Amino acid sequence: MVVYYPKGTGSNASSKEGICYSNRGMGLEDILNRTNSYYNEVAKCAVIHKKPTPIQIVKVEYPKRSAATIREAYFKQSSYSDYTGIFKGKHIDFEAKETRNKTSIPLSNFHQNQIDHMRQVLKHQGICFALVRFVTTDECFLLDAAYILLFWDDQKYGGRKSIPKPFFEEKGFAIPYSNQPELDYLKVVNEHYF
């Protein structure tokens, strides 16, 4: 299937050297979807969902009357954040990112529309952060959006083009894996924001 991203969104799909990054982050997203299901259905402590990105289907093939295959589609609009919901009466909005880089996460993993959305959420006193998983060490950190915005703005004036892992270790919060829920990030949110 061919999926076309909205122009100028800095999508995570790339045609550079034929590499497609469209499924990067799915490991973390799968874990978060199970964790959010636990929060929503078992613990009943929060309602947090993955935001669907609306698509416009352009080409469909019908090999059989009972089966349709989408062959071409366009994203109608760019996504603003991966997850949104409510916890203890507060709006929560966050990005889920993964990197195979051992020492940092490139700022290019974030896109301007996501950064703009983070600014708006913070402006209205919502809780906004990124969950970043360092794949090679299988470590996950919660980093407040305010820090991401500082690095984003600083790069425009010659600053770093990535957020170093030691910064996550110093200013972020490590989230250990567990059985139920798999990645208890709301424990960190509760301790840090409430």
Q: pLDDT tens-digit profile of 141-154? A: 999 999 999 999 99
Over the stretch 49-95, which tens digit does the pLDDT of each residue have?
A: 998 766 777 888 887 777 888 888 776 656 678 999 999 999 999 99
Domain boundaries along the sequence of the chain: 26-52+78-193
pLDDT for the residue 121 = 97
Residue 76 is predicted with a pLDDT of: 62
Q: How do residues 20-36 score in pLDDT, each as one tens digit?
A: 344 444 589 999 999 99
In angstroms, rounded to a whole number, what is the distance separating the alpha carbons of residues 97 and 85? 18
The CA distances from residue 172 to 22, 130, 138, 156, 161, in Å, are 26, 10, 16, 23, 18
Protein fold of 26-52+78-193: Trna Endonuclease; Chain: A, domain 1 (3.40.1350)
